[in-house]
A = this chain, B = another copy of it.
Amino acid sequence: MTQQRLAYFFGGGRADGDGSMKALLGGKGAGLAEMTRAGLPVPPGFTLTTATCLDYFAAGRRCPDAVDAAMQQALSQLEAEHGRKLGDPQRPLLLSVRSGSAVSMPGMMDTVLNLGLNQATVHGLAQETGNAWYAWDCYRRFVQMFGEVVLGADADRLEDAISERKAARGVQLDTELTVEDLQALVVAFRAAAAESSGQPFPDDPLEQLRLARDAVYRSWFNDRARSYRRIHQIDEKIGTAVTVQAMVFGNRGWRSGSGVGFTRDPSTGEKVLYGEYLLNAQGEDVVAGVRTPEPLERLRASLPEVHAQLAEVAARLEAHYRDVQDFEFTIEEGQLFMLQTRAGKRAGRAALKIALDLLDEGVVDEAGAVLLVAAEHVEQALHKVFAPGQQPLVLGRGLPASPGAAAGRIAFTAEDAVAMAAGGDPVVLVRVETSPEDIEGMHAAAGILTARGGMTSHAAVVARQMGTCCVAGCGEALIDVAQGWLVLGGRKLATGDWISLDGTAGTILDGRLEMVDPDLDDPALTRILSLADQFRRLGVRANADTPENAQRAAQFGAAGIGLCRTEHMFFARDRLSVVQRMIMSEDAAEREGALGELLPFQREDFAALFVAMRGEPVTIRLLDPPLHEFLPRLAELVEEVASLERAIAAQDAMVRFLEVSEADEATIAGVLEAIARGEETLAHRRALLGRARALTEMNPMLGHRGCRLGITVPGITRMQARAIFEAATTVAAEGQPVRPEIMIPLVGSVEELTDQRAIVDAVAEEVFAERGTRVDYLVGTMIELPRACVVADEIAAQADFFSFGTNDLTQTTFGFSRDDAGVFIHDYVDRGILTGDPFAHLDQKGVGRLVAFAVRTGRERKPGLKIGVCGEHGGDPSSVHFFHRSGLDYVSCSPWRVPVARMAAAHVALREAAEAAETNGAAST
């Protein structure tokens, strides 16, 4: 049980908390406190801290007495400030009760609005406002929401009751219902809620408040919230705060309303007040997407003074927070109230523009601008667009909710989307509207299409955050989820049909369009990356095996190649047969002959890489995969042999049949000839099969591969080293600097490195002597086995550099095969056994500890040892942060992730500097 303050009051221009207290007050609570302090028009309220949520669960889902007492005291303060009392039949105070954790989890947890109404207060409210319809609409909303959220009533059943009544009345809108209708609905809802909870609907407003508060606490562990936290890797131990606030009413008539907005356009970054509102509506109506809201621009016409006030508030918010803000507001009879503000989520290109505009406007400095662009934004800015020259059939239009392009097979449910995506094809999730229950399917989808809802609907917000292309609110789409069809633009499409989405234009296109990667000459991108480069310490290289890839890597700003997988050169069509000959060779001479044929191919490849990289380092990994990977698959060979045998058996039988039926000799001869040809093929395939069988391994990942090949077949290492040095000396002779870095894979003990290094050094001397010239080169090793980490000190003595192969290191540290582990890793993540896929985000606690140990002990042995990483993690922002903090010199990743890595590297350097400044500040006080 905590001894800290439990409730933080805000209102009337003063607040107990402030914006820095997100961990304790949640984003919402801290934001309201900060907004109050900033003098913005905020209805008074108080926040029960996140600690009280944990106390609630620690006490066995019971609110401790101290929390309850603190709540009542804060409530008194609120009542005094607002001049209304909870349950007062004359001037009733109505409250909102909202969740809010340190990390934004939009829509994942529960909220109760209009709390405090009962038969007495609803009449009071009607009398006070002179608007019985308004009062009963509030009461209907409260009973419906409280019934669903707190008492577990079935939402569909309540919603159906409204629809039935509207149908009975022959009306379309809620606002067309009568007071009597609303009263009847209240009665029906109370009965339904009582039935589902087994207890009468509570009429004591304080009891209502207690129950709502506890329901909000509980919603921290509902399925949606757990799922969201898992996907976004949010710690469940942070808990949620509960903010209780005086209600202001957007539904008090047509000079009232609610809205949400951004201080700038979150899709384009343009400096315009951006958002949506609905008159005579509460905020939930705007985000739920049930009524399609109006763009904020219209407010200028309908309520010009409110619009002006909103514009002024927006400017104040940006200056205060030094960032784009996403806010919620309510207009009560022409008076503006600000309910919430937070950093606005934005699309990739918008983030670039916003950061640079704020920099140019003097709101942020260069470091601030870099920090405003998340690595994910850069990734989004690199999103696909459709290949030009296609003439797609436009099926329809919606809102451009999240930029980018997608083509996929249609799925109508989240479950289908997950299942179909697991099958390998991209998926477009098509829904009437999305809800938090759909989160898994949205995550699995390449694109999202909804028929209802605006730019701030659930689908739009979540899709932008995920960086998934989304077209929202396409009202012309007819969707039948149960039957599995979509009718749009005169076509009927079914589950599994191909469709394409343009999330930037908001169009829906027929079929599977081809996509191309974005133009990267965007000056905003170039500028922000250049800014980032000023701050980062970590070098960024690219993994590239071909000159084309190497050139692209250089364009993306890679300072060299961190991993060239030489086996990719072996797989080329004209070489594979030579490689197979090498593998099938019966003696050393034959093998050397085949290796000799491979030499010129490899030399050419390396020369092209050296030329492409213009003197930047090129790290070449010697042959890594087991040799059987270069032969046809065993199962294919077995089946081919079996099918040849079957064919020959059938032909044999046919010959006998033809003989009996006295067919002509030419026919029989033809079949016999076919049999002879078949038998020849069969003999060859059987030989291949024999070799493939001999090379087959139970666990090829742990088998005869990596430097183990070079040690048992030194000719391979000699050939590859010769190709590298011949290429290097040739290119150098043409006047271009070269920096080959030769990397020995899968080293587990220093003796392996010593053995292979001796061969490489000897070949280098041979080639240098032959060519009469030298080039500088390094010989280093992949650190990709736990044992290599453990004996890194010894290995460092023989290595010019380390490059962590965190893919393989993850495999062996966990004992997970990437090829097989998918089956249970999914289960593991679902059940919280793993916080994320360790192949996507470095497992810092396990694998990371081995990495850190190897870095420390390797550098103790060889100070200044050059260390990088060349696994997939090199392009993952959280992993890049870890590598920076572990003291690596560089990361290497696929060319497309190079900009992301540059950005992530800058962020971690800036944050480290900020932390150091804070620590120094703390130390000097």
Contacts and interface: CB of A to CB of B under 8 A. Distances in A.
Contact of A786 (B650, B700, B702, B813): B813
B703 A820 contact: yes
A808 interface: yes
A813 B786 CA distance: 5
Contacts of A708: 824
A680 interface: no
Interface in A671-706: 697-704, 706
Q: A634, A650, A808, A833 — which one has the most chain B CB atoms within 10 A of its CB?
A: A833
A318 interface: no
A158 B621 CA distance: 53
A421 interface: no
A589 to B, nearest CB: 20
Contact of A755 (B660, B698, B755, B833): B833
Interface in A810-843: 811-817, 819-821, 823-824, 827-828, 831-834, 843
A661 interface: yes
Interface in A644-678: 645-646, 649-650, 653-654, 656-657, 660-661
Contacts of A786: 786, 812-813, 815, 846, 850
A121 B699 CA distance: 69
Contacts of A650: 649, 653
A698 B819 contact: yes
Interface stretch (A253-261, A533-541, A571-579, A744-752): A744-752
Q: A701, A752, A787 — which one has the most chain B CB atoms within 10 A of its CB?
A: A787
A698 B701 contact: yes
A828 B711 contact: yes
Contacts of A712: 823-824, 827
Nearest to A643: B642
A847 B787 contact: yes
Contacts of A661: 660
A752 B825 CA distance: 12
A847 to B, nearest CB: 7
Contacts of A656: 653, 657
A775 interface: no
B815 A748 contact: yes
A849 interface: yes
A919 B751 CA distance: 34
Contact of A813 (B660, B699, B808, B812): B812
A419 interface: no
A635 interface: yes
Contact of A814 (B649, B787, B811): B787
A846 B787 contact: yes
A638 interface: yes
B813 A711 contact: no
A138 interface: no
Nearest to A833: B751
A790 B849 contact: yes
B816 A702 contact: yes
A701 B702 contact: yes
A785 interface: yes
A639 interface: yes
A751 B838 CA distance: 15
A668 to B, nearest CB: 15
A468 B816 CA distance: 41
Interface residues of A, number: 64
Contacts of A660: 657, 660-661
A324 B700 CA distance: 51
A786 B843 CA distance: 13
A237 interface: no
A240 B845 CA distance: 48
B699 A702 contact: yes
Nearest to A828: B711
A704 B657 contact: no
A834 B746 contact: no
A901 to B, nearest CB: 25
Contact of A700 (B646, B654, B699, B703): B699
Given A639-B638, A702-B701, A834 B749 contact: yes
Contact of A746 (B698, B701, B702, B815): B815
A791 interface: yes
Given A653-B650, A711-B833, A699 B819 contact: yes
Contacts of A654: 653
B833 A813 contact: no
Contacts of A752: 833
A720 B712 CA distance: 45
Nearest to A653: B653
Contacts of A785: 813-815
A514 to B, nearest CB: 32
Q: A711, A784, A786, A828 — which one has the most chain B CB atoms within 10 A of its CB?
A: A786
Contacts of A819: 697-699
A702 B698 CA distance: 11
A645 B701 CA distance: 34
A362 to B, nearest CB: 48
A688 to B, nearest CB: 16
A808 B833 CA distance: 22
Contacts of A706: 815
A814 B748 contact: yes
B751 A811 contact: no
Interface string A549-574: 00000000000000000000000000
A667 to B, nearest CB: 16
Contacts of A701: 698-699, 702, 815, 817
Contacts of A831: 711, 755
Contacts of A634: 635
Interface in A63-90: none
Contacts of A817: 697-699, 701-703
A751 B834 contact: yes
Nearest to A846: B787
Contacts of A849: 790-791
Contacts of A812: 702, 786, 812-813, 815
A269 to B, nearest CB: 41
Contacts of A833: 711, 749, 751-752, 755
A636 to B, nearest CB: 11
Contacts of A784: 815
Q: A635, A712, A751, A812 — which one has the most chain B CB atoms within 10 A of its CB?
A: A812
A703 B701 CA distance: 11
Contacts of A832: 751
Interface in A693-732: 697-704, 706, 708, 711-712
A880 B403 CA distance: 63
A702 B820 contact: yes
Contacts of A790: 813, 845-846, 849-850
Given A704-B824, A748-B846, A749-B846, 14 more contacts: A646-B646, A657-B660, A698-B819, A699-B817, A699-B819, A702-B812, A712-B827, A749-B834, A751-B832, A785-B815, A786-B850, A787-B813, A787-B847, A791-B849
Interface of A: 634-635, 638-639, 642, 645-646, 649-650, 653-654, 656-657, 660-661, 697-704, 706, 708, 711-712, 746, 748-749, 751-752, 755, 784-787, 790-791, 808, 811-817, 819-821, 823-824, 827-828, 831-834, 843, 845-847, 849-850
15 contacts: A634-B635, A646-B649, A649-B653, A660-B660, A702-B816, A704-B823, A712-B827, A746-B815, A748-B846, A785-B814, A786-B812, A786-B846, A787-B814, A791-B849, A812-B815
Closest 5 CB pairs of A and B: A653-B653, A702-B817, A642-B642, A786-B786, A699-B817
